[in-house]
Amino acid sequence: MAGDSKYGLSSTAGADVFEALANIELVVTDCDGTLLYTDKALGQPAIDAVRRLQAAGVRFTAASSRPGKGMRHIVEALGIDMAYASYNGGSLVEPGTWKLLSSHKLPRDVVQTSLDTLAAAGVDAWVFIDDAWYLTNPDATYVPLETRTVGYEGVRVARFDDLDLDAVDKIVGSTADTALLTRVETGLQQQLHGRGHAARSQTYYLDVTSIDANKGTAVRELARLANVPLERVAVLGDMGNDVPMFEIAGVSIVMGQASDAVRRQASLVSTSNDDDGFAIGIEAIVAARAGG
């Protein structure tokens, strides 16, 4: 029955899920709010846990809402040697060469609908094309945070219409008014149904990506590349944009600070990201594989 606990994790799916940990061959993790602390730092407990996981023969990679370039320092720090997913699964990137293996661009009509909706709601919009980040308001609340997160500055433009809007990978709406962003998220999901995907990657960020760009699709492709069946894949996350990968992986571990709605979609619950919930989840897999 649900409510069982082991390895510092609690189960929402019964005790059998702990046995599944011993069979994990591939781990895919979200970055912000999961692998990283809230201040965007990569902690030593996470680094040590990933090293032990890799030493145990388990493949490891990441799937993030970030652009590929904004994930490079994480990939290098953790010795990731297989493809990783950026833009919520919209692109797959090869480490080292940083070659783009695949990408899913937003249809032009989805781009226009999203930008118009964000503007009407008074929500700051950013446009990402390849690894470039474009913005019209450099004084927006979350520009300094995004600069620190991705590791480079956005490019100011007078208007987005001057860009190649047929080549957009992701649109982000950002605001400190999280209640407003929740309403905008719901409205955009309805407007873009069947045409695009809208989901928050943070409480203050709303990501719009291709209908084919989601972390579930990314995990499916990463598992295929690693030749690992989905039932032997474990994923870790904390937000609504992580739910698609929760739905297809054999084991899903959610961070403790996640909303109740997201927590219900995962099979195991860890502590918060700031309480090393990621490291606890990884160490559970290592321990289970060792017969602990």
Helix (H) or strand (E) holding 70: none
Domain end residue (candidates: 176, 191, 210) = 210
**Region class of 7: left (phi > 0), else alpha (psi between -120 and 50), else beta:** left
Whether residue 231 sits in one domain with residue 97: yes
- The confidence score (pLDDT) of residue 10 equals 95
What span, in angstroms and rounded, lies between the C-alpha atoms of 36 and 32?
5
**With the C-alpha atoms ordered 266, 61, 207, 100, is the resulting torsion angle positive or negative?**
negative
Q: Is there a contact between 59 and 268 (Cβ–Cβ < 8 Å)?
A: no
Domain count, the chain: 2
Whether residue 232 sits in one domain with residue 203: no
Whether residue 40 sits in one domain with residue 163: no
Whether 3 is covered by a domain: the verdict is no
Q: pLDDT tens, 39-82? A: 999 999 999 999 999 999 999 999 999 999 999 999 999 999 99
Whether 35 is covered by a domain: the verdict is yes
Residue range of the domain that includes 246: 8-103+214-289
| Two structure tokens written together for 242 | 């992580």
Q: pLDDT tens, 97-116? A: 999 999 999 999 999 999 99
Whether residue 203 sits in one domain with residue 169: yes
Q: For residue 117, give the CATH number of its domain.
A: 3.30.1240.10
Instruction: Collect all residues with Cβ–Cβ distance below 8 Å to 233 and sequence separation of at least 6.
Output: 24, 25, 26, 27, 28, 219, 223, 248, 249, 250, 251
Whether residue 233 sits in one domain with residue 88: yes
Among 141, 138, 140, smallest CA distance to 153 is for 138
Whether residue 205 sits in one domain with residue 112: yes
What span, in angstroms and rounded, lies between the C-alpha atoms of 153 and 39?
18
- The confidence score (pLDDT) of residue 35 equals 98
Whether residue 112 sits in one domain with residue 89: no
Q: Is there a contact between 105 and 119 (Cβ–Cβ < 8 Å)?
A: no
Regions of the chain where pLDDT drops below 50? 1
Global confidence as pTM: 0.88
Q: For residue 90, give the CATH number of its domain.
A: 3.40.50.1000
- Residue indicated by tokens 């709406």: 173
Whether residue 125 sits in one domain with residue 152: yes
- The confidence score (pLDDT) of residue 13 equals 84
- The confidence score (pLDDT) of residue 14 equals 84
| Two structure tokens written together for 243 | 């739910």
Whether 2 is covered by a domain: the verdict is no
Whether residue 206 sits in one domain with residue 63: no
